[in-house]
Each structure stands twice: as structure tokens, then as C-alpha cells.
């Protein structure tokens, strides 16, 4: 996901001093809609930079009114004008059987309870996000990540009409080579499975921009990394990627094409007959090493999944992580979000095949709660860095990435606009761990560095 410099910092000045190295090489799809792979980072998992979201500090005191003055309400994004969802919820209608004498309408079947009931474990909306960990560490990207007080006082982190805004500085003129202020937040708790649902109206987009919503464990890559939203520059399609330890046997099974999906036997905890996904396979080897960090990935075929295309319609990203696998869905606001998600009673068995599906093979060689452990959730926006920088020219962007950083007008669309982030767990299951202090239920922090 975040690769090398932009995701992780090399010299943290606030909070803990995590020790994991991000994955520098995103998987490259066969037909090249995505930018080229970035170079390997100077640090390796055996000699990682002293930063990353895995080791977390005591939970900070949450304040819903830190005293900063919110900037003028930013322009809102219309989330209901066109677009398609990656996988729309299934609908059914009564069937009719005709005979020579009459027509009999079959009764509507009685709804059955979902195989698993999910309950809210943690939830962030509005100012809840400001109980997260903010970082002020330098990275290989041309960014200065701001601490909480500075981010809020500079108008880079605020709420507007209930929406949380995390943005890049779009008002300060710089000289070429200077770093631009940005924000990276991460949870104060770690997770070991669950259903993670992010609802956004907009995400950062544009040349030189490298946004990501991801999860990562300590001691990268040994505890894994789950990239849910990630891309660079003006990339039109989202990439979903996993990274595992160098000894991992986890692979993306490209035979799980959508036509193999069997709705009748689908079950969110049984991937045997429902491994299908609708996205385009990229890399298939999840294991990551200093010289091979692309991971296993899937490219979303819909241009409403990332950047400007997503911002035109908004989207919900749902990630289900169980021992059997990791599945990722995307639903655009315009095409319709499943009613069970809107009602706070999610039932993945009704959503159809996901855009990306990573499953444990029949021999059980990839247990997803062993390969992925103690994951911190991170949201950040880097600039240039070890992926967006090398991919800059090939993305059709003008001039150089470094020169583009100087003009604030280039970053008017470099903002996350978040409605909510909710973590669900199967009933009677508790799988998150406060990493110092007491994580507030219903309030999740974000920290990390990219």
C-alpha cells in the first residue's frame, strides 16, 4: 500500500516510535491502467525506518471541541449523480407460474436471519476522528505531516456539516523543493478481524497526490498490510492490495472469476463456494521482501472507485476480514448502498461478489488471522514520494512532481471528506486490542505516517 517513504516516517517526533517499513511496490495490472511500480525503498524489513503505525502510544484524550476555528465550509460533493457500484445488492421479486386455468403467485419467502450478526465495536463520525493519533514526522514524500493542534489551527483537519475533512494545504505558496503540509491519522487500537465500513463523499485527487486508507501491523511485513483505497496522481481505478511476510504462502487465486460465484451457497465465513470477485487481478504473490514488494492485488474496473470519478458519486467501502479470507466491496452512493449497511445491520451474504477477494486455499496454508495481526487503521495523503514521484511523468502530469508541490492551487481537490468509519464484529467476539490506555468504544483514532 503506502510504499516506503510516503506511508511511513523515518523520524517520528510525536507518539510512539513504530518500527515497520511500508511496502514500496504496488502491483501492476497486466493492461497498464495504473501507474508503474515505484522503486524499492532504501530501508528494508530487516532494517526498517523507525516509524509506522504498528506500535501505538497511549490513547490520547479525546476532545470534540479542541478550540480550533474551523475554516469556511468547503464545497460539498454531489454524491448522487450517476455512476455505478462495484457490486450492487441483490434484489428479488415474487415469481409467477401460469397454467391454462389460472395464475398462481408464489408467496414472498420469509426473510431469514443472517448467518452472523454484526455489532458495532468502534465508530467515528465528525469530531470523533480528532481523538486519533496525528503525526508530524518527515517522510520520503514532499509532505510535513501535522500534529493535531497544528492540523486543526491551520484548517487541515475540521468538521463541516458533520463531515470530517482531512486535507492538504492548498493556500501556501512554496518554493520548489519545499514540503507541503498534510495530515495522517491512525487508530489507537489494533484489530485482528472484523467488518470495516468507511463512508466517504470525496478523497484526495490530482497530480502528485498519493492518498490511502489502509491497515498495517507491527514489524512490517511480518504482521501484514491491507490496502483498501490507494493510488497516485490522476489514476482512475482503485487498487486493493495485500502484503504478507516473506515466508507467507498466501496468493491471489485468479481462477476465482465472477462467473464462479454461487449465490445460493455464499457465506461470509465460508469461502469454499464463494471466492469470486469482480475486479481485475494484478500481482498474485502476497509475500513481500525488500526486492519484491508489490504484494497481491486487484484493480477495480470502475472509474467511480478512485479520485475524480469517486468524488462525483461518493462511496462506501466494506472490508470483511475473517480467518477464511479478506473480501472488499465498494458501493457508490449514486448507484445505491445496501439498506442493511445504512440501517447499521450489515449482512455481507446479501451483497453479491466483492470487487476483491482473497481466500484461504483448501490446504489451509493462508490463515488470514495469522498472516495479518494487530492491524492499525490509517488514513493519509502523501505527495510525490516513492510511488507518485516515479509514476508522475507516466501519469500525464505536467512538469515535475517536485515543482508541482510549490503551487497551492494544485491541491484544491486534495481532501478526504468522511461521513463515518465503523468497525463491526461478530456478536460475542472481541478482537481489538487497546495499545496503551483505554480505547474509547465508538471513538477510533488514526495515526500513522505516510
Catalytic residue numbers?
Answer: 225, 230
Q: Are 29 and 299 in contact (CB under 8 A)?
A: yes
d(CA 405, CA 207): 9
Residue with cell 490530482: 206
Q: Are 320 and 269 in contact (CB under 8 A)?
A: no
d(CA 211, CA 234): 11
Q: Are 225 and 216 in contact (CB under 8 A)?
A: yes
> For residue 245, what are the β-bridge partners?
none
Q: How many CB atoms lie within 10 A of CB 158?
A: 24
Q: Are 267 and 285 in contact (CB under 8 A)?
A: no
Residues 6+ apart with CB under 8 A from 113: none
Name which of 354, 326, 327, 323 is nearest 338 in CA terms: 354
d(CA 402, CA 61): 37
d(CA 43, CA 46): 8
Q: Are 157 and 148 in contact (CB under 8 A)?
A: yes
d(CA 236, CA 334): 18
Name which of 338, 306, 155 is nearest 239 in CA terms: 306
d(CA 63, CA 150): 15
Q: Which three cell numbers mark 182?
A: 498534510
Q: Which long-range contacts (CB under 8 A, 24 or more apart) does 248-251 make?
A: 248/286, 248/287, 248/366, 248/371, 249/287, 249/365, 249/366, 250/286, 250/287, 250/296, 250/358, 250/365, 250/366, 250/368, 250/371, 251/284, 251/285, 251/286, 251/296, 251/361, 251/366
> For residue 287, what are the β-bridge partners?
244
Amino acid at each position: 500500500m503506502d510504499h516506503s517513504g510516503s506511508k511511513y516516517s523515518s523520524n517520528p517526533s510525536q507518539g510512539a516510535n513504530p518500527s515497520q517499513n511500508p511496502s514500496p511496490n504496488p502491483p501492476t495490472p497486466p493492461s497498464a491502467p495504473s501507474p508503474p511500480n515505484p522503486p524499492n525503498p532504501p530501508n528494508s524489513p530487516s532494517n526498517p525506518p523507525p516509524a509506522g503505525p504498528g506500535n501505538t502510544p497511549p490513547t490520547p484524550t479525546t476532545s470534540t471541541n479542541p478550540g480550533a476555528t474551523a475554516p469556511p465550509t468547503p464545497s460539498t460533493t454531489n454524491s448522487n449523480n450517476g455512476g455505478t457500484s462495484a457490486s450492487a445488492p441483490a434484489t428479488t421479486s415474487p415469481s409467477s407460474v401460469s397454467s391454462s386455468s389460472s395464475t398462481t403467485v408464489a408467496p414472498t419467502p420469509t426473510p431469514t436471519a443472517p448467518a452472523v450478526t454484526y455489532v458495532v465495536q468502534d465508530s467515528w463520525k465528525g469530531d470523533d476522528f480528532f481523538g486519533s493519533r496525528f503525526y508530524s514526522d518527515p517522510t520520503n514524500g514532499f509532505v510535513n505531516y501535522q500534529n493535531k493542534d497544528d492540523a486543526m489551527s491551520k484548517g487541515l483537519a475540521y468538521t463541516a456539516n458533520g463531515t470530517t475533512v482531512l486535507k492538504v494545504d492548498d493556500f501556501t505558496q512554496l518554493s520548489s523543493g519545499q514540503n507541503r503540509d498534510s495530515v495522517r491519522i491512525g487508530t489507537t487500537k489494533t484489530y485482528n478481524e472484523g467488518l470495516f465500513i468507511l463512508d466517504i463523499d470525496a478523497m484526495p485527487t490530482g497530480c502528485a497526490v498519493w492518498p490511502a486508507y489502509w491497515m498495517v501491523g507491527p514489524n512490517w511485513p511480518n504482521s501484514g498490510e491491507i490496502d483498501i483505497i490507494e493510488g497516485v496522481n490522476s489514476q482512475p481505478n482503485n487498487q486493493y492490495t495485500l502484503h504478507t511476510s516473506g515466508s507467507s504462502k498466501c496468493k491471489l487465486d485468479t481462477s476465482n472469476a465472477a462467473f464462479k460465484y454461487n449465490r445460493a451457497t455464499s457465506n461470509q465465513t465460508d469461502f469454499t463456494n464463494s471466492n469470486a470477485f469482480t475486479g481485475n487481478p494484478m500481482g498474485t504473490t502476497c509475500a513481500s521482501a525488500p526486492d519484491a514488494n508489490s504484494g497481491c492485488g486487484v484493480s477495480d474496473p470502475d472509474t467511480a472507485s478512485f479520485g475524480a470519478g469517486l468524488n462525483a458519486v461518493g462511496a462506501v467501502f466494506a472490508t470483511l476480514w475473517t480467518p477464511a479470507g479478506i473480501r472488499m466491496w465498494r458501493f457508490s452512493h449514486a448507484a445505491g448502498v445496501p439498506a442493511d449497511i445504512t440501517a447499521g445491520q450489515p449482512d455481507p451474504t446479501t451483497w453479491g461478489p466483492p470487487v476483491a477477494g482473497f481466500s484461504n486455499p483448501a490446504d489451509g496454508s493462508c490463515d488470514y488471522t495469522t498472516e495479518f495481526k494487530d492491524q492499525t487503521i490509517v488514513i493519509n495523503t502523501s505527495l510525490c514520494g516513492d510511488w507518485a514521484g516515479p509514476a508522475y511523468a507516466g501519469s500525464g502530469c505536467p512538469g515535475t512532481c517536485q515543482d508541482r508541490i510549490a503551487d497551492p492551487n494544485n491541491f484544491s481537490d486534495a481532501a478526504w471528506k468522511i461521513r463515518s468509519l465503523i468497525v463491526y464484529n461478530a456478536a460475542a467476539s472481541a478482537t481489538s486490542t487497546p495499545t496503551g490506555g483505554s480505547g474509547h468504544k465508538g471513538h477510533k483514532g488514526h495515526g500513522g505516517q505516510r
